[in-house]
Amino acid sequence: MSKKKTVAQPPEKFTGIQLTKVPASAAGIKAIRSTFKHIKEEVGIVKGIGLLSKINQKDGFDCPGCAWPDPDAKRAFLAEYCENGAKAIAEEATKNRVSPLFFASHSVAELAKLSDYEIGKKGRITHPVLLKPGSSHYEKISWQDAFDLIGRELNALSSPNEAIFYTSGRTSNEAAFLYQLFVRQFGTNNLPDCSNMCHESSGAALSETLGIGKGSVTLDDFNHADLVIVMGQNPGTNHPRMLSALADTKKNGGKIITVNPLPEVGLLEFRNPQKPLKWFSGEQLTDIFLQVKINEDVSLLKAILLLLIAKEEANPGSIFDHDFITQKTQGLDQFLADLKRYDLDELIENTGLDKSAVIEAANLIATSKKIIICWAMGLTQHKNAVDNIREIVNLLLLKGSIGKKGAGTCPVRGHSNVQGDRTMGIWEKPKDSFLDALEKEFKFNAPRDHGYDVVDAIEAMHSKKAKVFIAMGGNFISATPDTEVTAEALQNCELTVHISTKLNRSHVIHGRQALILPCLGRSEKDAQESGEQFVSVENSMGVVHQSTGHLAPLSEELLSEPAIVAGIAEATLQNSKVVWSRLVSNYDFIRDKIEATIPGFDNYNERVRKKGGFYLPNNSRKGDFAPTYTGKANFTINAISDVKLEKNQFIMMTIRTHDQYNTTIYGLNDRYRGVLNERRIVFMNAQDMTEQGLQKLDTVDLISHFNETQRVAKKFLVVPYSIPRQCTATYFPEANVLVPLKSVAHTSNTPASKTVVISIEKSK
């Protein structure tokens, strides 16, 4: 696409790679050592230990790492965190400060030349700052002047739809509710969020088939499952506490099948860091590992389904749950008719797997009555991502494995409150019933047209249809696809505003004017007029609970996210009947409003104070599928991948290392994959390397191919790895420049950042 060289991408420089042996197991003593190294370097040991003792405790704060739930009952002291949760905390509680003085001595152009790792390590922002039109440096600004500037720019737009309000998934329920209320009173549904790039495909598939966009299992279900299938997910790195749940499944006699193009270490063997006796001897987790080709999961599922059908037909009633199917589902006949069009051997060939492995997996599924299927980005970020998840539902429906103990759907969420943000109305396609409730409670006319999601928002800014971009957290430029196009989009804006904790690349790829508004982090005390506040969040399994910060705020200038929203709202809205400052004076008042408008939050203020919180209603957990468009659970007909690779082309997936939280780069190691001190690498199959005339650590350029357009990312080092033929992997965000903006999943519009077609050339 754009040939011109900009500074939007991370710099093309190497940091000094070392390759080591891939470890045999995850966690264990090395994880503990790594935890304390990060804590010591960023926070200091004494304060650090105090912090760790509060993570995920019932009186403590919700770990800003992932959305994996905490045990409902007993919680170990100093133990409900993992290595990567500790790193997340270390990043937030860092000693490093980005003050007005820092900005005075570092120009924006200079900062843009740094890598995301280097930018992030500069630390927490201490004061609100403004980049004036044409200026080279951010300067201190008062909160009121910042709010007034935003109000003026928003009110100068010819339509509220020219403004975009992004949200990342760390925002608390209270802040998210206020934010969407302000945005809708301003007059638009332009509320894109990180979910659009994350589990949107899960939400789309699950709502259509089961009548709720959330998963159905609870943590306890892992104790009762006969079989857990983990597809397209790397919990050893991204949800380490999930490994304990998988270990419980095994302890109780259940089995585990893993479907992944990579042999992710954490899934294969695990040393429980919370059980010192297990630090030195690993627990094997995966029983059957299916090393599937990228984006061939539908082929695999269809092959398994054909094998199951053959068994069922040979011995009717032995494999499928006919009572469940008859009472609760619709669409079986059409689904079966479509499935039988496929040829088993062709499907298996697509997957790149041995037939015997697929048969072994089908046999285990055949004899299991209670099955949980877990998945994450390996399934949601493809063109046919929604098909992946609907096909999972087909399998679970045939087995009657939804709505009973030990069974169900488990989309494993990313950001710690991404699910709660959606519940609070952060969505560009709100339901009418939700808007009706807002209108009734707050006496205004809510906008009804759907707003922009992430991809549409980038296109709108690119074509200058949108002119103000406001982000509640996140790092838009580094998280989104097509880095150069997104950069042009942001640079077209009149004003870009980031409500952030830490410095990131989105602060230096900016509009004509730019504001950074620094906010309190999860771990910090939040004092308002009525005293210290807590916030609430919803985890991946629909439990809403409180989160209370314990540290003194790092700067007196910081405001809480709800207070910032209130400040912007007061400076922008002339006729609002909401008394914003009153809502912020005591977050109980915000929760009262949530209770009044969103189902499932009865007695919110009382129930959220109960230790451990409360479960939100979930129809599919109860085996009730009435909310779907047919009133039953729907079988669906799904397509296998239509990606055709030409000679010398590869599929590339963009994945996370063990040392990052999305675009926050904790360190330069990917310990579990044996890569140290380097992020610009491409994992390749050794035979493919030979065919391409490539050697270990050769420097290559990656060229992505999409609808006749090409995008180039220069200077990556080739690392031979256990990965299927024609499959490659790079790290996010370095490779985002290769992900075409228009290459998206159907229905969910999620960027297909795990199906990128590339060719590989030696660098000149």
Ligand X SMILES: Nc1nc2c(c(=O)[nH]1)N[C@H]1C(S)=C(S)[C@@H](COP(=O)(O)OP(=O)(O)OC[C@H]3O[C@@H](n4cnc5c(=O)[nH]c(N)nc54)[C@H](O)[C@@H]3O)O[C@H]1N2
Shortest Å distance, C-beta 510 to ligand X:
14
Residue whose CB is less far from ligand X, 131 or 446: 131
Residue 259 interacts, among Mo ion, ligand X, none and using kind-specific CB cut-offs from 5 to 8 Å, with: ligand X
According to CB under 6 A, which one of 378, 425, 613, 724 is a site residue for ligand X? 378
376 is a contact residue toward ligand X (CB under 6 A): yes
Q: How near is the Cβ of 618 to ligand X at its closest, in Å?
A: 20
Q: Would you say 175 and 535 are in contact if contact means Cβ atoms under 8 Å apart? A: yes
- Choice from 128, 151, 447, 473 touching ligand X (CB under 6 A): 473
Cα–Cα distance between 729 and 746 in angstroms, integer?
Answer: 23
CA atoms within 13 A on the CB side of 363: 8
561 binds ligand X (CB under 6 A): yes
Write the CA distances from 500 to 184, 288, 473, 554, 560, integer angstroms.
22, 43, 5, 14, 11
Q: Does 379 bind Mo ion (CB under 5 A)?
A: no
475 belongs to the binding site for ligand X (CB under 6 A)? yes
For the chain, the residue count is: 764
Residue 142: helix, strand or coil by DSSP?
coil
**CA pair distance 557, 534, nearest whole angstrom:** 19
**Is residue 422 part of the contact set for ligand X (CB under 6 A)?**
no
Q: Closer to ligand X at the Cβ: 447 or 451?
A: 451
Q: Residues 427 to 456: which contact ligand X by CB under 6 A? A: none
Choose between 233 and 539: whose C-beta lies nearer to ligand X: 233
Amino acid at 207: S
521 binds ligand X (CB under 6 A): yes
**Is residue 262 near ligand X by the rule CB under 6 A?**
yes
| Footprint on residues 636-665 left by ligand X (CB under 6 A) | 653-656, 660-664
602 touches 595 (CB < 8 A): yes
| Residues 562, 568, 570, 572, Cα dihedral to 10° | -150
Q: Which does 655 bind (CB under 5 to 8 A by kind): Mo ion, ligand X, none?
A: ligand X
Contact yes or no for 206/393 (Cβ under 8 A): yes
Dist CA 116 CA 10 (whole Å): 7
Q: What beta strand segments (E) does 151-268 contain?
A: 163-167, 227-231, 255-259
Closest distance of CB 199 from Mo ion, Å: 7
By CB under 6 A, is residue 724 in contact with ligand X?
Answer: no
* 730 belongs to the binding site for ligand X (CB under 6 A): no
CA dist 551 and 548 (Å) reads 10
**Minimum CB distance to ligand X, residue 264 (Å):** 5
Secondary structure (3-state) at 654: strand
The tokens describing 298, both together, are: 């539908």
Beta carbon of residue 622, minimum distance to ligand X (angstroms, whole number) = 27
262 binds, among Mo ion, ligand X, none (CB under 5 to 8 A by kind): ligand X
Residues 183-202 contacting ligand X, CB under 6 A: 194, 197-198
Residue 264 or 453 having the CB closest to ligand X: 264
The two beta strands, 660-661 and 681-684, are unpaired
Count of residues that interact with ligand X, criterion CB under 6 A: 60
Which of 198, 319, 373, 466 touches Mo ion (CB under 5 A)? 198
> Scanning residues 224 to 243, which ones bind ligand X (CB under 6 A)?
231-234, 237-239
- Least distance to ligand X, CB of residue 476, Å: 6
Q: Which of 638, 719, 754, 757 binds ligand X (CB under 6 A)?
A: 754
Helix (H) or strand (E) holding 590: helix 587-597
Task: Give the binding range for ligand X (CB under 6 A) out of 145-153, 371-379, 395-403, 524-532.
Answer: 371-379
Among 218, 417, 419, 501, binds ligand X (CB under 6 A): 501
Nearest to 574, CA basis, from 15, 2, 155: 155
Q: Which residues are bridge partners to 519 per DSSP?
A: 559
Site string for ligand X, 332-361 (x = CB under 6 A): ------------------------------
Nearer to ligand X by Cβ, of 237 and 350: the residue is 237
Instruction: Choose the contact partner of 661 out of Mo ion, ligand X, none; CB within 5 to 8 A by kind.
Output: ligand X
Choose the contact partner of 160 out of Mo ion, ligand X, none; CB within 5 to 8 A by kind: none
Of 213 and 553, CB closest to Mo ion: 213
Backbone angles phi, psi at 221, to 5 degrees: -60, -30
Q: How far is the CB of 168 from Mo ion (least distance, A)?
A: 9
How far apart, in Å, do the first and last CA atoms of the chain sit? 20
Sign, CA dihedral 11-752-173-573, equals positive
Q: Min. distance of Cβ 413 from Mo ion in angstroms?
A: 7
Q: What token pair was written down for 702? A: 């990656």
Cβ nearer to ligand X, comparing 621 with 658: 658
**Contact string (CB under 6 A) for ligand X, positions 57-76, x = contact:** --------xx----------
- Residue 99 CB burial class (10 angstroms; 0-12, 13-18, ≥19): middle
The reply to whether 410 sits near ligand X by the rule CB under 6 A is no
Compare residues 336 and 643 and give the one whose CB is closer to ligand X: 643
- The rounded radius of gyration (Å) of the Cα atoms in the chain is 25
The strand pairing partners of 166, in sequence order, are: 471
Q: How many CA atoms lie within 13 A of 666 on its CB side?
A: 30
108 binds Mo ion (CB under 5 A): no
Tell me which residue has its CB nearest to Mo ion. Answer: 414
Least distance (Å) between residue 361 CB and ligand X: 13
3-class SS string, 489-547: HHHCCCEEEEEECECCHHHCCCCCEEEEEEECCCCECEEECCEEECEEEECCCCEEEEE
Nearest Cα to Cα of residue 289 among 271, 250, 262, 249: 262
Q: Helix or strand or coil: residue 710?
A: strand
- Stretch of 36-44, 162-170, 311-319, 586-594 contacting ligand X, by CB under 6 A: 162-170
Applying CB under 6 A, among 122, 311, 415, 673 the residue interacting with ligand X is 415
The CA distance from 404 to 568, in Å, is: 46
Site string for ligand X, 590-619 (x = CB under 6 A): ------------------------------
Residue closer to ligand X by CB (options 190, 634) is 190
Q: Does 297 bind ligand X (CB under 6 A)?
A: yes
CA distances from 574 to 94, 236, 554, 577, 582 (A): 39, 50, 33, 9, 17
| Separation of alpha carbons 594 and 173, rounded Å | 9
Q: How many Cβ atoms from other residues are within 10 Å of residue 443's Cβ?
A: 10
Residue 251's identity, in one-letter code, is: K
Task: Find which of Mo ion, ligand X, none residue 656 binds, CB within 5 to 8 Å per kind.
Answer: ligand X
Is residue 518 involved in binding ligand X (CB under 6 A)?
no
Q: Which is nearer to ligand X, 123 or 613 (CB)?
A: 123
| Packing angle of the helix pair 587-597, 173-186 (nearest 10 deg) | 70
Rounded CA-CA distance 377/380 in Å is: 5
Binding mask 403-422 for Mo ion (x = CB under 5 A): -----------x--------
Q: Which residues bind Mo ion (CB under 5 A)?
A: 198, 414
Q: Which residues bind ligand X (CB under 6 A)?
A: 65-66, 84, 168-170, 194, 197-198, 231-234, 237-239, 259-262, 264, 292, 294-295, 297, 376-378, 381, 414-415, 472-476, 479, 499-502, 504, 519, 521-522, 561, 653-656, 660-664, 732, 736, 739, 753-754
